[in-house]
Amino acid sequence: MSVEKIDTKFVRRSTSAIVVFAIGLRIVAALVWQSQCSSNNTTLRFGDSHSYWTIASNLALEGRYQYGSDQSRIFRSPAYPLFLAPLAWGERWFSEQSAQVPFVLGARIAGCILGGLTVWIMMRWTRGIAGTASGIFAGLLAATYCGAVGMSIFVLSEAVATPLIVLSCWMLWRSTLLDPDQGGSDFWTSQRWLSTSCSAFALGLACLARPSWGLWPGLALPLVAFASNKQVSFFWRNWLLQGMFFFGILCCVMAPWWVRNYAITGKFVPSTLQVGASLYDGWHPGASGSSDENMAFSIEAMQRILREEALLANASSEVESTLEWRIDRRLQKEAWAWARENPSDALRLGLIKLRKTWSPFPSARELSNPLVVLWEAGSYLFILVMSAVGLWSLRADCRRWTEACWFIAPCVYLALLHMVFVGSVRYRQPGVLILCGLAGIGLSAAWDRFIVRTPGETIPRAELSADRAGNGTDAVGSRASKKS
């Protein structure tokens, strides 16, 4: 059997083994988590999980997409409730009560399978950049990272949004590669067209699961220009066309949600009508940088707005749109007004949120188990250290730093976003999961330096570059060879 066939067989077996291990680890964690929930006489421990399940139950039972009253019809984005709806529908066949353990456990296991798919994507992505060994290490890190396991099992929208955003980033990275079938001479190749389409489609679905990704193209598309070959003809014109094509696909995916929201409110609502509450959560008198678990600030603000609404109703004044839209708009205005009047406090809160989001130790009351805290902190710090090693290992070639930017950019985006909105360890998890790709490169370099080689042994740079180019495993080397 040839070396190429042996390598291919090894890659397939190792990839399959790591994906199966990732799914198995998540299923075990889901069973343990569900057992802990049952011991605390609950099925869903997070308030957000209850809201998603309630919307899914209302949709499955009555065909109404709402949370609570009919005044709350754009409370959550639709992707995750729709994902849960078949389980909620099956649940109502067997019981009148909502959130029964077997069906909630089914949602957790479905999240585990999606988590395994995410690990597979990270392995493929990293292998395309830095070779088989880096891909395997990236897969192991993504499979065992505590935050990634948690987002698969908690019945939160990240279970759906994270695989989609990882897929979108991978496809957008692929759009910057030259198409070998066309000799790399044309900027707008079939590979670029297909990769851009897949990336935009996945991002649209991710935004319908987690609206916070809606601003991601503002960072991602400039990165595409930075990473692409600017030597091709009419580069900037074609890059602009690519961006327009990307936004066109994105808008087509989200259009049904926009049309539905406009039919309800008479206004353009791109995501949900909880943006105002989320913004007010982070910017209001007495804000701490964390989400108010009892939502006391929000309840007080809404009661005040409702009292004012009642006075307007008694005065026979016309009101604009729906109550849900008006409350959202008022909370947005009051949050921005407070930030403008208190810029130093807004900046101080931003730094507090930055610390809360990127602290090694989770502070959520539901995650107080010492073993979980240590697992999260240990795996998170190890990924950061290995990512630094990965950057150091790429220092000899500036073109290779472009590849590292793809793994770092989501962390930068989430850090900036949650300096405005509330900060929490939960919100960093997709970024850290993508960072596993760079950490895999660093771990591979450390393994190669300290484990595989004997002390003092070196490999000439020319030989190393030839080996990478010959095996076709280094995307940067492939680009360089095709530019000439």
Residues 6 or more apart whose CB falls under 8 angstroms from that of 162 comprise 114, 115, 118, 148, 151, 429, 430, 433
Q: From CA 318, how far away is CA 309, in angstroms rounded?
A: 10
Return the pLDDT at 320: 79
Q: What would the pLDDT profile of 333-381 be if each residue is shown by its tens digit?
A: 999 999 999 999 999 999 999 999 999 988 766 666 788 899 999 999 9
Return the pLDDT at 466: 37
Domain boundaries, the chain: 3-483
**Residue 181 structure tokens:** 């079938």
Model confidence, pTM: 0.89
Return the pLDDT at 71: 81
Q: What stretches in the chain show pLDDT beneath 50?
A: 1-6, 182-184, 454-484
Return the pLDDT at 288: 80
Return the pLDDT at 473: 43
- Give me the sign of the Cα torsion angle 73, 76, 77, 82: negative
Q: What would the pLDDT profile of 197-256 be if each residue is shown by its tens digit?
A: 999 999 999 999 999 999 999 999 999 988 887 777 778 888 899 999 999 999 999 999
Return the pLDDT at 21: 98
Return the pLDDT at 462: 36
Return the pLDDT at 312: 65
Return the pLDDT at 467: 39
Candidates 34, 47, 122, 46; CA nearest to 430 is 122
Return the pLDDT at 441: 95
Return the pLDDT at 295: 57
Cα 288 versus chain centre, distance: 25
